[in-house]
Amino acid sequence: MDDDHRARDLWRERVQQHAPAVYDAAVEALTPEQRKEAEAVAAGRRRLAAELGDRERHERRITLEQRADQAGLSFLYNALYRYESNAATHPSMLAVDLLLEGHPRGLLLRGEPTAQFAAPPVYLHGAFLLCEPLRESGELTPALKLPKLPSLSRDVYALLVERTEMRVPNWRELLPPEVVEQISPT
């Protein structure tokens, strides 16, 4: 939680530094409820720091890859996050292969990846992966229980299967059995 809030703090500081008018407009647009929530978060962070003390600055942060491994999601991390990172967020030569195509008059920029490198439905996978922690959050905190979550999970899974089968009909045969079992809806 602290790392997440520190990352948001840094983002806000950078926006304020490089685009003060945008920052000021965003602050001005905050609703009273959002301001109250921000005060509660700040108070919680102060209380947490007082109870646990300041962490050492040299303390090594757990990477997203390590978190995925701890949750048993290494395959999905490597299949989705690494793909998206190299294709878009931190474009590499993969992005060139995915989005540029030779043309008699130069290069053609494609609107979506070539058929050779079919893009996984990253946001759809993300929605699917969000369903499980939401379900468990509802079990732990009744106020977070979403009555329509089971049907939503099934719908998202069905859409994920449909989209995957359109691009890779034999995907179940290609993936390790434990991965297929892991992504089946509960």
Tell me: the pLDDT tens digits for 9-67? 888 999 899 888 988 988 999 999 999 999 998 998 888 888 887 665 545 678 888 98
Q: Which of 96, 99, 94, 95 is nearest to 113 (CA)?
A: 99
List, as own/partner pairs, every contact residues 103-111 make where C-beta atoms lie below 8 angstroms and the sequence separation is at least 24, other chains included.
Answer: none
**Structure-block tokens of residue 111:** 């609107």
Mean pLDDT of 101-115: 82
Q: Residue 116: what pLDDT?
A: 62
Mean pLDDT of 54-82: 77
Q: Residue 104: what pLDDT?
A: 92
Mean pLDDT of 127-149: 84
Q: Residue 58: what pLDDT?
A: 45
Q: Which of 122, 186, 126, 185 is nearest to 157 (CA)?
A: 185
Q: Residue 101: what pLDDT?
A: 84
* Residue 179 clears pLDDT 80, i.e. is over it: no
Q: Residue 31: what pLDDT?
A: 92
For the chain, which residues make up each domain, given as ranges? 2-52, 64-183
* Residue 149 clears pLDDT 60, i.e. is over it: yes
Q: What percent of the chain has pLDDT over 90?
A: 10
Instruction: Using DSSP, state whether 57 is helix, strand or coil.
Output: coil
**Structure-block tokens of residue 163:** 């989209």
pTM above 0.85, yes or no: no
Output the average pLDDT for the chain.
82
* Residue 5 clears pLDDT 90, i.e. is over it: no
For 168, residues 6+ apart whose C-beta sits below 8 A from its C-beta are 118, 174
Q: How confident is the model at residue 186 (pLDDT cuts 50, 70, 90)?
A: low
* More confident site: 28 or 99: 28
Mean pLDDT of 59-87: 81
CA 88 to chain centre: 14
